[in-house]
Amino acid sequence: MISQTVEYALRAIVTMAQHEGQPCTAKKLAEITQVPLPYLSKLMQGMVRGGLVTSQRGLHGGFLLTNDPKNLTIFDVINVVEPIKRILHCPLNIQSHGTNLCPLHRRLDNAMAATEKVFRETTVAEMLSQPGSVTPLCEDKKMISLGLGSAAGVKSKPAARNAKKKE
């Protein structure tokens, strides 16, 4: 129901939000989100084109969120990555139906509308760690700031240079 592409994109977006304005390289994002680097890079390009993310070049370059996580919703991300295909008219092109959906397609579209509503109302800020909950995508906030998600298979090594290289 929620595609892997959408889930991966949300992992990347949440990771960027956790870095609070600090640029994230594709390699770092791929490690933390456990998304294969080529797949992640393609996703990031799409999100740059879609205006969700900006790309900053140079030594301390990387990807940054365009908007404040408080103003960015799950729906905004899905809408760029893989928009929900609502049923706006009869998928069988039955002339007399037109935009007057039959009960089958009305119910399917209603279910999509309800999900869309939840996603429109949920911001990225709300998906970050909350009191009493686990930190998204990582065991430890400190490890995120070092770019050492569990993804890198590192649990006790203290510095980024020790991170196991996957690529």
Binding site for its own copies (CB under 8 A): 1-2, 7, 10-11, 14, 33-34, 74, 84-85, 91-97, 100-108, 110-112, 114-115, 118-119, 122, 126-130, 133-139, 149-151
Q: Which of 22, 110 has the CB closer to its own copies?
A: 110
Nearer to its own copies by Cβ, of 54 and 110: the residue is 110
Residue 24: CB minimum distance to its own copies, A: 16
d(CA 143, CA 159): 9
- Measured from the CB atom, is 61 or 142 closer to its own copies? 142
Taking CA atoms, 151 is separated from 22, 34, 78, 86, 154, in Å, by: 19, 5, 24, 35, 8
CB of 53 to its own copies, least distance (A): 17
Q: Report the distance separating Cα 47 and Cα 111, nearest Å.
A: 26
Task: Decide whether 45 or 122 has the Cβ nearer to its own copies.
Answer: 122
Minimum CB–partner distance for residue 60 and its own copies (Å):
26
Minimum CB separation of residue 129 from its own copies in Å reads 7
How far from chain centre, in Å, is Cα 14?
6
Q: Which is nearer to its own copies, 57 or 85 (CB)?
A: 85
- At 54 the three-state DSSP class reads strand
Residues 47 and 77: their CA atoms lie apart, in Å, by 8
Nearest approach, Cβ of 61 to its own copies (angstroms)?
26
Angle, helices 74-81/37-49, rounded to nearest 10 degrees? 100
Contact yes or no for 126/69 (Cβ under 8 A):
no
Residues 30/42, Cβ–Cβ less than 8 Å: no
